[in-house]
Homo-oligomer: A and B are copies of this chain.
Amino acid sequence: MKTFLDCYPCFLDQALRAGRMATDDEKKIKELLDVVGCMIKDIPMEHTPPETGEVIYRKVRELTGVEDPYKSVKQSSIQEALDLVPELKKMIDEADDRLLAAIRLAIAGNLIDLGVRRQFVLTDEIGKIMNQDFAIFDYAAFRKHLDNTSSVLYIGDNAGESVFDRILIEELGKPVTYAVRDIPVINDVTMEDAIASGIGDVAEIISSGSTAPGAILRFCNALFLEKFEHSDLIISKGQGNYEALSEVNRPVFFLLKAKCKVIAGDLDVRVDDIVLKGINT
């Protein structure tokens, strides 16, 4: 997905939020905004948004010296999700269609974003998504690709959400490779987070090589690209990966909840809609 005009103020807002996670020093945060503000002229609209995210979060690390501002937030998100696992498994066991229920849960997991919701709110939200209509629903194509593929490449999004990904992986019934970010960026899932989420028990975990908040192919490593070229089912979670991969030429299924109006507009859905969208299927 390209960068839309509305993305530019949002880049500055993201820098502000990330700066505040890393430091209380207003002067340092202002310095970060100065740098990111001046970067705007070098961000063409043809770039995908996570390419800019990569630079912003690199600047946060450089200016504040904090490598992983979201570390403790990610740890609590994972723990919060792990505590829900018995309940989530019960929902799968009671579902008419286990696979579809697991897909819904994998999308619901995206709500854990930044660990700001309290658990009882989260379970309410999960309940809603379990009954929400999809705005785009390429489920038949998804099942067909799942039946025909010998392996699945699953590209993770947030830490915490990763626990919900594990539930879906268990329902896929095929060998799965789970790709994570190469380094900590926002609250995105890294190798350490994936292991803490129990993904190691159900899938092979690899780094995508991307240090951006999305699997931008030209940032990805050889191992990831090899899996990307040869899997007949690629699952891409969340907004950042959609932004990075919406125009590739491989069979990718995007599982996400549209949380920003730009992405909703690009998908031709509304904010808060849930989406299972396949491309090149």
Residues of A within 8 A of B (CB): 5-6, 8-10, 12-13, 16, 20, 26, 29-30, 33-41, 45
Q: Which of B5, B30, B37 is close to A45, meaning CB atoms less than 8 Å apart?
A: B30
Q: B residues within 8 A CB of A38? A: 37-38, 40-41
Q: Which of B5, B36, B39, B45 is close to A16, meaning CB atoms less than 8 Å apart?
A: B5
Q: Which of B6, B16, B29, B40 is close to A37, meaning CB atoms less than 8 Å apart?
A: B40
Chain B nearest CB, measured from A4 CB (Å): 9
Q: Please give me the residue from chain B that is nearest to A45 by CB atom.
A: B30
Copies per complex? 2
A-B contact pairs, 12 of them (CB 8 A): A5-B16, A5-B26, A6-B16, A8-B16, A8-B33, A8-B37, A9-B9, A9-B13, A9-B16, A12-B40, A37-B40, A38-B40
Given A12-B37, A30-B45: 7 more A-B contacts, CB < 8 Å: A5-B26, A5-B33, A9-B12, A26-B45, A35-B41, A37-B38, A38-B40
Chain B nearest CB, measured from A41 CB (Å): 4
Q: B residues within 8 A CB of A5? A: 16, 20, 26, 29-30, 33
The 4 closest A-B pairs by CB, nearest first: A37-B40, A34-B41, A9-B12, A37-B37
Q: B residues within 8 A CB of A33? A: 5, 8-9, 40
Q: Please give me the residue from chain B that is nearest to A19 by CB atom.
A: B5
Q: B residues within 8 A CB of A35? A: 41
Q: Please give me the residue from chain B that is nearest to A31 by CB atom.
A: B41
Chain B nearest CB, measured from A182 CB (Å): 28
Chain B nearest CB, measured from A136 CB (Å): 26
Chain B nearest CB, measured from A22 CB (Å): 13
Q: Please give me the residue from chain B that is nearest to A34 by CB atom.
A: B41
Q: Would you call A12 and B8 a contact (CB within 8 A)?
A: yes
